[in-house]
């Protein structure tokens, strides 16, 4: 089987999808933004061929590159695993008549107001929402639904560009910052109180082949706004033994069916609180922040290889063992600047070293990144344990004990 894979080099874990495809027996023709001489020898060894494009989201250039490959050999699949590439690749896939996720499904997994409209019609519980570039229409919606509201880009990912507003004055400021009235168009949603988590799957022809449930501590919007928080996300190994998780799994299957997701990885965010379980959004791609690494270390499996088998052969050969829960905690520098050093590292290693799977402690002198840059922007620690609650305790202790100092 011949598979074109878009962007194999950056971020670092993109190479794992290429490795998985190679191990599944595919000839991998990669298209990426790094010149070929910039690829390392290991990655090159997994590739049948490589095409360099300055911008893989340039639809015309990507179409020409794919057709060039099609002129030389039969192309069975065209795949992308990065959110910003999904729509472009779907359009090229359709133009070149290659099987895979459709433009319509890709659009619905990107455009939040359209996504929620389709899912509400399918009976999936969602926050009230609209998409608009008209400030007066948004103000009318706010007065009808009430505050607080969430303002975010229609096709945004994570908490980037997201506002929580509690009054008309705050709403007006957020709309100005989002350029509404000057060509900007945003998604506006009812704020849903409750705990936030995500549900990830590997689906084959619309059937869930593997599934995982992960919790945020605290919710993402709060985590990305406050330096003093050391945020975590933790994947549970209780997914098959806690009845409440059945609601999440049922809702996830409803969403996959309604959006006509065939064979793909998915990443769905959800909330559970006073209004019950509510759908938030879904991406037709794997989760970010190397969450699949956590799933692999927790479940004695190679999810990258299983994804590759799903794409190339329509099956999987492994199921999650659920042996461990696993999580990551982000450690923020105490100020912006450059890393000066760390405290508490020795104590944590002495207390919990056997449960630390890996960590990242940038060298002194490394420039810091802002709080909003995400869970792996600065220092982080990943851990696993058989007991979910004890893992949470250990991660909390890491957050209390390990400190990143900057100057």
Which of 106, 327, 108, 311 shows the shortest CA–CA distance to 197? 327
pLDDT in tens, 124-165: 999 888 999 999 999 999 999 999 999 988 876 656 678 899
**Does the pLDDT at position 200 exceed 70?**
yes
Cis peptide before 364 (omega within 30 of 0): no
pLDDT in tens, 28-76: 999 999 999 999 999 999 999 999 999 999 999 999 999 999 999 999 9
Token pair belonging to 391: 């893992």
Which residue is associated with the tokens 């329509």? 314
**Does the pLDDT at position 335 exceed 80?**
yes
Element (H, E) at 91: helix 83-95
pLDDT at 290: 96
Which of 273, 284, 283, 288 shows the shortest CA–CA distance to 127? 273
Q: Quick one: fold of 128-190?
A: Dna Ligase; domain 1 (3.30.1490)
pLDDT at 151: 93
Location of each CATH 3.40.50.20 domain in the chain: 2-100
pLDDT in tens, 81-140: 999 999 999 999 999 999 999 999 999 999 988 999 999 999 999 988 899 999 999 999
- In 22-122, beta strands by DSSP E: 27-32, 49-52, 77-79
List, in order, residues 6 or more apart from 398 with CB less than 8 Å away. 230, 329, 331, 348, 352, 381, 383
Q: What is the mean pLDDT of the chain?
A: 96
pLDDT at 158: 56
Q: What is the assigned CATH class of domain 2-100?
A: alpha beta
Q: Quick check: pTM over 0.85?
A: yes
Location of each CATH 3.30.1490.20 domain in the chain: 128-190
């Amino acid at each position: 089987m011949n598979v074109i894979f878009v962007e194999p080099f950056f971020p670092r874990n993109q190479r794992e999808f290429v490795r998985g495809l190679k191990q599944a027996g595919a000839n991998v023709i990669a298209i990426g933004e790094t010149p070929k001489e910039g690829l390392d020898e290991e990655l090159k060894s997994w590739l049948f061929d490589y095409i360099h494009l300055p911008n893989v989201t340039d639809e015309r250039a990507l179409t020409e590159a794919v057709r060039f490959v099609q002129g030389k050999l039969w192309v069975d699949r065209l795949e992308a695993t990065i959110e910003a590439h999904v729509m472009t690749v779907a359009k090229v896939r359709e133009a070149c008549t290659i099987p895979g996720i459709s433009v319509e499904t890709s659009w619905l997994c990107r455009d939040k107001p359209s996504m929620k409209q389709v899912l509400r019609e399918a009976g999936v519980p969602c926050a009230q929402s609209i998409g608009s570039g008209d400030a007066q229409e948004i103000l009318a919606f706010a007065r009808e639904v009430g505050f607080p509201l969430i303002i975010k880009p229609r096709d945004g990912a994570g908490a980037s560009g997201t506002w929580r507003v509690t009054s008309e004055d705050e709403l007006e400021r957020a709309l100005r910052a989002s350029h509404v009235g000057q060509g900007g168009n945003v998604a506006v949603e009812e704020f849903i109180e409750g705990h936030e988590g995500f549900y990830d799957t590997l689906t084959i022809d619309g059937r869930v082949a593997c599934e995982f449930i992960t919790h945020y501590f605290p919710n993402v919007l709060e985590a990305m706004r406050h330096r003093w928080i050391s945020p975590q996300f933790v994947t549970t190994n209780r997914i098959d033994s806690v009845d409440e998780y059945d609601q999440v799994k049922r809702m996830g299957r409803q969403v996959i069916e309604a959006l006509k997701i065939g064979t793909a990885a998915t990443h769905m965010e959800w909330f559970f609180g006073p209004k019950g379980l509510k759908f938030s959004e879904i991406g037709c791609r794997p989760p970010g922040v190397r969450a699949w690494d956590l799933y692999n270390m927790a479940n004695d499996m190679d999810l990258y290889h299983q994804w590759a088998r799903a794409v190339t052969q329509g099956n999987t050969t492994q199921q999650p063992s659920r042996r461990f829960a696993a999580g990551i905690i982000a450690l923020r520098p105490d100020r912006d600047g450059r890393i000066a050093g760390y405290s508490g590292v020795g104590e944590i290693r002495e207390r919990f070293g056997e449960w630390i799977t890996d960590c990242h402690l940038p060298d002194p002198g490394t420039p810091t990144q802002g709080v909003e840059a995400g869970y792996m922007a600065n220092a982080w620690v990943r851990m696993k344990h058989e007991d979910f609650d004890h893992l949470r305790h250990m991660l909390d202790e890491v957050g209390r004990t390990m400190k990143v100092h900057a100057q």
